[in-house]
Amino acid sequence: MIEYLIQYGSIFIAVAILFLTRKGMKKYVPVALFASLYANLWCYIAIYFNLWHYNHQWKLFSLVDDISIVVNMIVVPIMAMIWVRYCPLRFREQLWWAFIWTTVLMLVELPIERFTRLLDYRNGYRWYHSYILWFASWFIWLVFYLWFNDWKRDMDSLFT
């Protein structure tokens, strides 16, 4: 029962936050698509190396056996959009921003891993590996956003 509450609750919270911050979010949609692809890629790598496992019994959709649809297709893209949109400009502040976001996220992920059957770390994978992966991911998504927008601006200038 708690597993369903976590899944549906995370969807509701993510969509509610997106709804509340919807104005001006259209330009962050490419970041969401990239974050979803990135999260799915990491899940495939994790499944291949048996680093973590999502129990398919508790998945929202049982169509895909090895990937958490809720996290990779809904929650992570929305988190990436919001993180990139409100990320500070200075690098030192960005480090703090990423540290705070990652710490809060790990305070959610650790109890999920330890006290539910939604997520299971395996084969030597520990919470600090997840911490490092999330911390680096924020900056990868930010760099993608900056790269994508510079490329788009250059393409727009070609046709005007």
Could you tell me the pTM of the whole model? Answer: 0.84
**Rounded-to-integer distance, Cα 3 and Cα 115, Å:** 10
Cα 14 to chain centroid distance, Å, stands at 11
Confirm if 87 and 97 have CB atoms less than 8 A apart. Answer: yes
Compute the average pLDDT of residues 107-133.
90
Taking only the tens place, the pLDDT of each residue in 2-37 is 877 887 888 899 999 999 999 999 999 999 999 999
Q: Give the count of beta carbons closer than 10 Å to the beta carbon of residue 36.
A: 19
Q: Check residue 158 and give its pLDDT.
A: 46
- Nearest alpha carbon to residue 57 among 117, 126, 131: 117
Compute the average pLDDT of residues 143-150.
91
Residue with tokens 């999330």: 134
Q: What is the 3-state secondary structure (H, E, C) of 51-117?
A: CEEECHHHCCCCCCCCCCHHHHHHHHHHHHHHHHHHCCCCHHHHHHHHHHHHHHHHHHHHHHHHHCC
Q: Could you tell me what percent of the chain has a pLDDT over 70?
A: 86
Q: Check residue 75 and give its pLDDT.
A: 92
79 falls in which pLDDT band (50, 70, 90)?
Answer: very high
Q: Which two tokens stand for residue 59?
A: 């998945």
Q: Which two tokens stand for residue 119?
A: 């997520």
Q: Check residue 62 and give its pLDDT.
A: 53
Taking only the tens place, the pLDDT of each residue in 83-108 is 999 999 899 999 999 999 999 999 99
